[in-house]
């Protein structure tokens, strides 16, 4: 890689010792401005919070939409069955009512016969 005539020279120096055209760099020049790190951290936290809030809101909307789709599918499947069941129950109720009316008529007719017999006996 390097020829014998060329030798690689490395020198390790602190950043504060680095020479530039204007002279050595001061430590204060290489560090972020005071308070900027805190400001960047706060901005990053706000960004992370916003991203988390967006993700959670998106998940909530997706869950709500999925739930709506599921419930609507169930309603579409159940509605015809529910309608048929309601018709069957209404028919049963009508039949039960007619049966009750017929039984009441029979009881009324029996009572009317008994009263007619009693009145007939009293007249004799």
Helix, strand, coil share (%) of the chain residues, nearest 5: 75, 5, 20
Which residues 6+ apart lie within 8 Å of 68 measured at CB? Answer: none
- Name the phi and psi angles at 64, rounded to 5: -65, -45
Mean pLDDT, residues 15-36:
57
Q: Distance between CA atoms of 36 and 58, rounded to whole angstroms?
A: 32
Question: How wide is the angle at C-alpha 119 spanned by C-alphas 106 and 122, nearest 5°?
Answer: 150
* Residue 34, domain member (yes or no): yes
Mean pLDDT, residues 8-34:
54
* Boundaries of domain holding 92: 15-123
16 in helix, strand or coil?
helix
Work out the mean pLDDT of the chain and round it to a whole number: 81
pLDDT tens digits, residue range 72-103? 999 999 999 999 999 999 999 999 999 999 99
6 in helix, strand or coil?
coil
52 or 89, which is more confident: 89
* Residue 2, domain member (yes or no): no
Q: Distance between CA atoms of 21 and 95, rounded to whole angstroms?
A: 108
* Residue 82, domain member (yes or no): yes
- Name the phi and psi angles at 24, rounded to 5: -65, 145
Report whether pLDDT(33) > 60. yes
Report whether pLDDT(60) > 90. yes
Mean pLDDT, residues 49-74:
94
- Number of structural domains (the chain) is 1
* Residue 103, domain member (yes or no): yes
* Residue 8, domain member (yes or no): no
* Residue 6, domain member (yes or no): no
């Amino acid at each position: 890689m390097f020829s014998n005539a060329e030798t690689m020279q490395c020198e390790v120096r602190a950043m504060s010792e680095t020479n530039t055209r204007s002279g050595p760099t001061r430590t204060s020049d290489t560090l972020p401005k005071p308070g900027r790190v805190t400001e960047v951290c706060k901005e990053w936290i706000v960004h992370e919070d916003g991203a988390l809030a967006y993700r959670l809101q998106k998940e909530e909307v997706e869950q709500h939409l999925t739930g709506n789709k599921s419930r609507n599918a169930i309603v579409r499947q159940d509605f015809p069955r529910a309608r048929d069941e309601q018709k069957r129950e209404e028919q049963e109720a009508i039949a039960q009512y007619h049966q009750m009316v017929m039984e009441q008529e029979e009881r009324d007719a029996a009572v009317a016969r008994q009263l007619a017999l009693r009145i007939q006996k009293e007249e004799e």
